[in-house]
Amino acid sequence: MAFKKSELEIVKTKLREDDKILYCIAGLIFYCALRPAEIMRLKVSDMYLEEGMVHISGGQSKNKRNAWINIMNKDFIEDLKSLNLDVYPEDYFIFTRHLKPGIKEAAPTRIAERWRKWANENNIKRNIYDLKHTAAGMANDNGVPMRDLQLHFRHSELGITERYLQRFRRVPGPGLMRYPSF
């Protein structure tokens, strides 16, 4: 199920203020279509913020393929820069047990746990990964061709992208915010 416009606005403003790290994770899902497991495997060396890119190696990704992903929002690049990743060794994971940089990889459930706590406090029922469905639908509504969406979301088949869009279409109520910003 997709986020409503009002929920996206809470994520954009309140999450950004309350928990900058979780906000950056939400943005990696929304703008870069990263999966929680991929996010937890990201290392400092995978971020190319000056170029506006994230690198996912085959060992990090679900489909076992290397990928270069454009960060779809310049303001979000600045949010990522505010994490000051350049002070950490390149082989550090960006998000570990407490979602801070470190040497030991942590489980993707760390994201869900922290999200659920924040989301409950802010009366948001959706899970953080629903941001990916929302972004797909908003991009499609703004004329992004289905094949481009498939490539950006790194889906192996067009049918998978179509399923994301079907989930987006089941959003309750009117008024979804338009891509490319939440």
Structural domain that includes position 110: 5-169
Give tens-digit pLDDT for 61-79. 666 677 899 998 999 999 9
- Is residue 178 assigned to a domain? no
137's tokens:
């639908």
Does 102 have pLDDT greater than 90?
yes
- Is residue 58 assigned to a domain? yes
User: 0.75 exceeded by the pTM?
Assistant: yes
Residue 179: what pLDDT?
43
- Is residue 155 assigned to a domain? yes
- Is residue 79 assigned to a domain? yes
Residue 145: what pLDDT?
87
- Is residue 43 assigned to a domain? yes
Which residues lie closer than 8 Å to 56 by C-beta, 6 or more apart?
34, 38, 42, 46, 66, 67, 68, 69
In angstroms, the CA 153 to CA 144 distance is 12
Residue 130: what pLDDT?
92
In angstroms, the CA 81 to CA 26 distance is 15
Domain count of the fold of the chain: 1
Mean pLDDT across 67-96? 95
Which residues lie closer than 8 Å to 154 by C-beta, 6 or more apart?
33, 61, 62, 63, 65, 67
In angstroms, the CA 72 to CA 83 distance is 18
What 8-state DSSP symbol labels residue 2?
P
Does 150 have pLDDT greater than 80?
yes
Q: Return the CATH number at 75.
A: 1.10.443.10
Coil/strand/helix, residue 56: strand
- Is residue 116 assigned to a domain? yes
Pair 115, 22: CB distance under 8 Å: yes
